[in-house]
Structure 1
């Protein structure tokens, strides 16, 4: 059984408005084909089909029609259940991100490794980042169904592994980090496959509201993770933060097994699906270089100013070597005969380049912000994990609200670039507000000041995604969507790694002078850097000094995320919406 897709709607009888107004592949530079002209001409989405035939119109399944006029589109069979399966995974994608942010300090402190806490997040993000685009490639060969199952199962297994690691286990922190890496392998496909499957089924102009639903579910998951993560960790233990995700994954898997099928005609034409085809079509060399380069770079960022000075040959070699590998990665992407991890042709032209620059900056700023807020609450304000999570819950509502606003605007007025500009501007404003928080400030500010950045994230993410999708033909939508998520994820990796390095470097440099000549000073410093919970056990005068140093490091981190968000605004202001298909 298969489901009918937009790609399967053969161009048998083109709409009379479309005869001479087809938008060519890629970015259209002709001003008469700008977004407004396209909208005025009632430009419809034309798709490349795997096997067009004049008889296809007589054998259509429900929701299938020959014309691409989406006014007559009806959902395919089991559409609601397909959405339930997809949105369950999207919920987990949001839930896992914030529940980890709310509890990573507790987890790392239990293993005496708070100075490497960023690896709990970056291990997930590195594997998620590398495998996100591969889901798009492999799903083009073996179908969406297989990749949906792979991502869901591996995500569940990774969560299960995290929950089963014992505190007494030798190298327990390392095993949790490895388990987070496995979780990321699956997590990379949760959001990507939801977007790709919906792109198969839903016409482009109707997709805005469904993307808003997807963003809303992501936001709802983030709210639940932020709200309950700390409570679960304080109540029954942090392991249940991961174990509770396993039943939801099992539910999504069960529903998906029944209703998620492959497109009617597939997406690889008549080519036989074999493992040999995967090796020819999928850019494993590029993926390996990307994972290796990022991992080595993260090791350098983690060691620098933490375990080793920044001038250490090991730190310098890791940073220089990883940069060289990233250059080699780009060379491979330009020359590979496989489908590249990052198709460089999707970055040609000012609009795609500026959009993806804004994308990576938004990802960096958003995760730097998300990663450091719980630490600010737990160290500077001495909140429990439960209280810190509660502080994140209400502002997290702003993310799905922003997604809803973006969906409505896209569906009614288009204005994709405008959404990106507004979203990034709100991120700058919100990050700047948090940067301005004093060491001791009015309690209401800790609620109000963190709202705008979340709202901006909710607006900018769908804005960037649909700007990218509207720039290219439908045949490129799977690879475009996965590329958008990949580039954003690269930003999130660096957001966590860079700001964590800033905090740890600040602690290493400032703590010795701030603590003065106290007994066992270096042991105390080591405890502070390795266990967040140890701060609460310090004498009041030493505790205050340690909190002040943490505050300095966190303030520098928020200032960095503000500057990066400002760079995203600059890119959005320079972008010009020419050649975009209308979303109205």
Structure 2
């Protein structure tokens, strides 16, 4: 069985896949040489390498579906890995809480500057900045090492949070969100990369599940805590208080994390070049600006500007041109591409990215629509409406933990991916069929399978990606995977919002016409109903019922968007190769 050349070599569970010091006379191209140098990590302890778990020919015939795990041979104890994970959780929790905190308090923050109409830019700017810089972190961690780049991302988030807290204008606060978004892009991705550096791949899902759970809990608590702080001591302390927490996270990670330095940084011919010279700045600029140009119109279209505006068309066209230039740069000019396009030739990589984006889009679409549904149909407060998301959060947590245990015990990762898509499909289908305006407590739990499916998918797709790639591409591949999360989030929010804006006014106009209300009176009712929810308390009963029914119809179609995303995710999972990680 040959791994690097046409020659056959005896292999066992400790054989190195990519040995940097090979003295073989077989010639290798530049790509092979780079892969050799990028698979070793120097942490001040004996050299660690990726190992091939290879079975005999007879065993292969008995188990043809098995996939050789490129897991790191475990030289770190579980206790040491647990300490590292705990140190990482501080930053992951705070960054996740920040996201829901801003969603809950952005109207209050914007009202401070008399700029409520631009309040959504407080989280849009964060997502866009993260999408534009996400791909950088994987390559930077290969060049400079995991720990320094992770600490830099913490520092950026702390600086951004402090700037938000002391900002004296809306644009200063938005700049702070951009800086925080740039730092936040690296946190989850680098935490995941570090875990794969330390643990065998078959155990990675279990450790990764703790990150997912803590991130979910952070997103759940951020909104209520942020609202409480805004009502008591002021919203600024929600952000000023984050700066010392991230400084604490920097100290903990600085103490606990080992020095994980890729073989690319050894004192060889390549390492003598300036590290900055190795960064593909041009490719990064084209990729970041191209993604911004494509994603921005999805947020402003239909809100700040009409979809038919030339601005929307110009942004889409610019995005396509910039991404085209990025591809040319990576193929023809970049010596060390910020994101190797050859990864996209791997079907399993594409399936992983597509699954992650679709599952994220489906759940974000649901999470945005559920509070609105209960505010409209039951006139609940924002706090109570937000509490209706807790079942999905619980489902997400349970799904993530169970998947980590399943993969660690069995080694199979395709079955959870398919199951995640199916159960999510069931959840969104139930919302369409059963949420008609009079939803009891039992039927309000229909969102649990959706959250459960997303939790299962997040863990399984991460392992599936790692099993499909060369270890030298680990960091960049994981950055690409986490890039699909903000892309999926923006697509999910934009699609559900567009559907709501298209369906609700038309359905309401039809219902008002049936009540004999037409012309300017109907137009004014539609304008009031779609611009502020408190109009429901002022409207006559028959008009209020018509508005509620129109919203329910619009929300049904938005759940249809989530349903479609679940179908795509399930189809992608079915097309993935059936594999099993071997110890």
Partner of 1:5: none
Partner of 1:566: 567
Mapped partners of 2:13, 2:146: distance in 1: 28
Partner of 2:480: 483
> Equivalences for 1:183-202 in 2 at 5 Å?
183-202=180-199
Cα offset for 1:436?
A: 3.1
Partner of 2:59: none
Cα offset for 1:501?
A: 2.9
Partner of 2:402: 405
Partner of 2:163: 161
Mapped partners of 1:322, 1:417: distance in 2: 34
Q: Is the 8 A contact 2:90 2:249 kept in 1?
A: yes
Partner of 1:35: none
- Judging changes above 3 Å, is the alpha-carbon distance between structure 1 residues 60 and 84 closer, same or farther for their aligned structure 2 residues? closer
Confirm whether residue 317 of structure 1 aligns to residue 287 of structure 2.
no
Mapped partners of 1:135, 1:226: distance in 2: 28
Computed over aligned residues only, the root mean square deviation of the Cα atoms, in angstroms, reads: 3.8
Partner of 1:136: 138
Confirm whether residue 48 of structure 1 aligns to residue 46 of structure 2.
no
Within the candidate set 379, 382, 385, 1:385 is matched to 382
- Judging changes above 3 Å, is the alpha-carbon distance between structure 1 residues 328 and 396 closer, same or farther for their aligned structure 2 residues? same
Give CA deviations for 1:351-403 in whole Å, capped at 9, x if unaligned: 33333222222222222222333333344443322212322224312212111
Partner of 1:98: 100
Q: Is the 8 A contact 2:202 2:411 kept in 1?
A: no
Mapped partners of 2:160, 2:43: distance in 1: 41
Mapped partners of 2:274, 2:373: distance in 1: 50
Mapped partners of 2:259, 2:239: distance in 1: 30
- Judging changes above 3 Å, is the alpha-carbon distance between structure 1 residues 487 and 426 closer, same or farther for their aligned structure 2 residues? same
Secondary structure of residue in 1 paired with 2:265: coil
Mapped partners of 1:292, 1:523: distance in 2: 40
Moved more, 415-424 or 449-458: 415-424
Partner of 2:347: 350
- Judging changes above 3 Å, is the alpha-carbon distance between structure 1 residues 154 and 518 closer, same or farther for their aligned structure 2 residues? farther
Mapped partners of 1:185, 1:274: distance in 2: 29
- Judging changes above 3 Å, is the alpha-carbon distance between structure 1 residues 264 and 320 closer, same or farther for their aligned structure 2 residues? closer
When the two structures are superposed, what TM-score results if normalisation uses the length of structure 1? 0.79
Partner of 1:269: 266
Partner of 1:469: 466
Partner of 1:500: 497
Cα offset for 1:455?
A: 0.6
Secondary structure of residue in 2 paired with 1:565: helix
Partner of 1:32: none
Mapped partners of 2:324, 2:154: distance in 1: 33
Cα offset for 1:469?
A: 0.5
Mapped partners of 1:286, 1:390: distance in 2: 43
Cα offset for 1:517?
A: 6.1
- Judging changes above 3 Å, is the alpha-carbon distance between structure 1 residues 551 and 477 closer, same or farther for their aligned structure 2 residues? same
Partner of 1:13: none
Cα offset for 1:569?
A: 0.5
Moved more, 381-390 or 265-274: 265-274
Cα offset for 1:454?
A: 0.7
Mapped partners of 2:209, 2:466: distance in 1: 15
Q: Is the 8 A contact 2:76 2:198 kept in 1?
A: no
Aligned pair count reads 536
Mapped partners of 2:78, 2:47: distance in 1: 8
Confirm whether residue 425 of structure 1 aligns to residue 422 of structure 2.
yes
Confirm whether residue 366 of structure 1 aligns to residue 336 of structure 2.
no
Moved more, 59-68 or 191-200: 59-68
Q: Is the 8 A contact 1:398 1:452 kept in 2?
A: yes
Mapped partners of 2:90, 2:43: distance in 1: 29
Secondary structure of residue in 2 paired with 1:443: coil
- Judging changes above 3 Å, is the alpha-carbon distance between structure 1 residues 47 and 224 closer, same or farther for their aligned structure 2 residues? farther
- Judging changes above 3 Å, is the alpha-carbon distance between structure 1 residues 66 and 391 closer, same or farther for their aligned structure 2 residues? closer
Secondary structure of residue in 1 paired with 2:339: coil
Q: Is the 8 A contact 1:355 1:467 kept in 2?
A: yes
Give CA deviations for 1:56-114 in whole Å, capped at 9, x if unaligned: x9x99668668959786333996554322211122224323333444556656777877
Cα offset for 1:419?
A: 1.4
Within the candidate set 107, 120, 123, 1:121 is matched to 123
Confirm whether residue 441 of structure 1 aligns to residue 438 of structure 2.
yes
**Unpaired stretches in structure 2, ≥5 consecutive residues:** 6-10, 24-39, 54-71
- Judging changes above 3 Å, is the alpha-carbon distance between structure 1 residues 474 and 293 closer, same or farther for their aligned structure 2 residues? closer
Within the candidate set 253, 256, 259, 1:256 is matched to 253
Q: Is the 8 A contact 1:50 1:267 kept in 2?
A: no
Q: Is the 8 A contact 1:98 1:222 kept in 2?
A: yes
Secondary structure of residue in 2 paired with 1:441: coil
Mapped partners of 1:226, 1:439: distance in 2: 27
Moved more, 215-224 or 182-191: 215-224
**Unpaired stretches in structure 1, ≥5 consecutive residues:** 1-20, 26-40
Higher relative contact order (CA 8 A, sep 6+): 1
Cα offset for 1:540?
A: 5.0
Partner of 1:305: 302
- Judging changes above 3 Å, is the alpha-carbon distance between structure 1 residues 60 and 399 closer, same or farther for their aligned structure 2 residues? closer
When the two structures are superposed, what TM-score results if normalisation uses the length of structure 2? 0.79
Mapped partners of 1:406, 1:451: distance in 2: 16
Cα offset for 1:214?
A: 1.9
Secondary structure of residue in 2 paired with 1:572: helix
